[in-house]
Amino acid sequence: MSSIQAIRIVSLPSELQTTYDVATFVENVLHVKEVAGVSILQLQTDAGVRYRSAIVDIATWEEANPFQEKLLATDNTGVVVSDKDLPMPIHFDNGKPMPHLKVVVAKPQRPVATPLELADDDWKSIYMPVLPGDLAMDNGDVKYSDEASLAAFFEDELKIGQVSRVDFVSRTIPGQETTVRSAYIHFDHWYDNNVSKTVRKSVNARGEFVCHGYYNGFDFCKFDRNRFITFKVNYKPIPTADASLNIHQLAAAKEALEKRVAELEAKNAELEELVVFFKGVANDSGLIEMDIEPSVNNKPMTMDELDTTQQQVVEV
């Protein structure tokens, strides 16, 4: 029997808010042994009703799984799971009871997440010159303003790599009073998929990649208000700090450094006092700026005076 690689929960109940919630539900209720990835989609009906859907990539099913057998037998029409067969009551996002879940077979949506092989001198960090303060999607419901939300965007939505950290810098535009916020995205590794390769190819060829959103498998999700972000190479990434010390160790190290600086400053002051003292002693002793009496006879010695073989006559 062939194995289903991905399923879609057509409409997510409000009880399943995060990818972790969905993965846990699928593993415990639908008897999936291992989930490879979860993508939560923000969708809208033709009537304008918004709802959430989830595509779950399956790594391994449990052996002799009756739910998978039902899905394979439906010819892509899906399986309806009654709320009575679930371990907890479920609700729509508006709070009304949800009578059932519908699960259908789907195509795997998660791109390849294996690390992309890069040379030691290849760039791995990107720089965003301007991070719009109102960067968001879904009419402001999803905001990208901090490290967690930006990391989730690059890892789970744009899907180009595993983020290690995000640094933010605020700067003032020359000649203006406007302050803009920049972001530096550092990656543990880039993913070996078409999206990441497209981004890197554009940056290498044009010096930048302009991002207006991401593709969720059904539609292209654009940032609100036509916002966009630009990726450039971060040529001088700041190394990751050593996080092995706790706050108490850091405080003790700071105190020790401050004490050492104070000792060196005191020693320097003593040396400056000694320099002033010895300059005074030297001046008092005439060792500095001594007046040298000029020679009475400034003429050079003659050859006779230099001849040491001649008998010297001493007058008495």
Q: What would the mean pLDDT of 110-115 be, rounded to a whole number?
A: 72
Do 137 and 220 lie in one domain? The reply is: yes
| Same-domain check for residues 38 and 88 | yes
Pair (87, 142) in one structural domain: no
Residues 101 and 19 in one domain: yes
Q: Looking at 39, 72, 105, which one is the last position of a domain?
A: 105
**For 165-200, how does the pLDDT look when each residue is reduced to its tens digit (9 = 90+)?**
999 999 887 777 788 999 999 999 999 888 899 999
CB-based contacts of 297, cutoff 8 Å, min separation 6: none
Same domain, 225 and 133: yes
Query: Token pair of 219, please?
Result: 């539609």
Indicate whether 93 belongs to any domain.
yes
Residue 208 pLDDT: 94
Strand, coil or helix: 232: strand
pLDDT above 60 (res 83): yes
| pLDDT of 246 over the 80 cut | no
- Are 226 and 133 in the same domain? yes
> Could you tell me if 177 and 153 lie in one domain?
yes
Question: How confident is the model at residue 14, as a pLDDT?
Answer: 92
Q: Is 164 exposed, middle or buried (0-12, 13-18, 19+ CB in 10 A)?
A: middle
**Same domain flag for 86 and 131:** no
More confident residue, 292 or 84: 84
Measured between alpha carbons, how far is 181 from 179 in angstroms, rounded to an integer?
A: 7
Residues 49 and 82 in one domain: yes
pLDDT at 101: 92
pLDDT score of 223 = 95
Instruction: Report, as an integer, the average pLDDT of 91-106.
Output: 91
Q: What is the mean pLDDT of residues 126-140?
A: 92
Residue 137 shares a structural domain with residue 226: yes
Same domain, 130 and 99: no
Tokens at 238, concatenated: 């700041």
Higher-pLDDT residue of 256, 107: 256
Are the CB atoms for 23 and 56 separated by under 8 Å?
Answer: yes
In this prediction, residues 238-252 reach a mean pLDDT of: 73
Q: How confident is the model at residue 297 (pLDDT cuts 50, 70, 90)?
A: low
Q: How many structural domains is the chain composed of? A: 3
**How large is the average pLDDT for residues 129-144?**
91
Looking at 73, 105, 137, the residue that finishes a domain is 105
150 pLDDT exceeds 80? Answer: yes
Which domain does 254 fall in, by range? 246-278
pTM comes to 0.52
pLDDT, one tens digit per residue, over 212-242 is 999 876 678 899 999 999 999 998 887 766 6
**Cα 17–Cα 22–Cα 27 angle in degrees, nearest 5:** 155
> Are both 73 and 133 inside the same structural domain?
no
Three-state DSSP at 273 gives helix
Residue 92 inside a domain? The answer is: yes
Judged by average pLDDT, the poorest of 20-24, 34-38, 262-266 is 34-38
Q: How confident is the model at residue 315 (pLDDT cuts 50, 70, 90)?
A: very low
Backbone angles phi, psi at 240, to 5 degrees: -70, 135
Given 75, 105, 135, the domain boundary residue is 105
* pLDDT at site 202: 94
Average pLDDT over residues 99-107: 90
The answer, yes or no, to whether residue 146 has pLDDT greater than 80, is: yes
Mean pLDDT over each residue of the chain, to the nearest integer: 84
Residue 293 lies in a domain: no
Q: Does the pLDDT value for residue 292 go beyond 50? A: no
Give the mean model confidence (pLDDT) for residues 293-309. 59
Q: Quick check: is 292 in a domain? A: no
Answer whether residue 272 is part of any domain.
Answer: yes
Asked if residue 302 is part of any domain, the answer here is no
Instruction: Concatenate the DSSP letters of all residues of 82-149 into one string.
Output: EGGGSSS--B-TTSPBP-EEEEEE----SPP-SBPP--TTS--EEEES---TT-EETTTTEE--SHHH
What Rg do the C-alpha atoms of the chain give, in angstroms? 38
Residue 68 burial by CB count (10 A; 0-12/13-18/19+): exposed, middle or buried?
Answer: buried
**Which pLDDT does position 186 carry in this prediction?**
94
Of 105, 12, 5, the closest CA to residue 59 belongs to 5
Residue 257 included in any domain: yes
Which distant-in-sequence residues (6+ apart) come within 8 Å of 104 by Cβ? 7, 8, 10, 71, 76, 77, 78, 79
% the chain with pLDDT above 90: 39
Angle at 194 between CA 236 and CA 161, to 5 degrees: 45
CB contact at 8 A, 126 and 185: yes
The token duo for 286 is 């005439």
Whether residue 89 lies inside any domain: the answer is yes
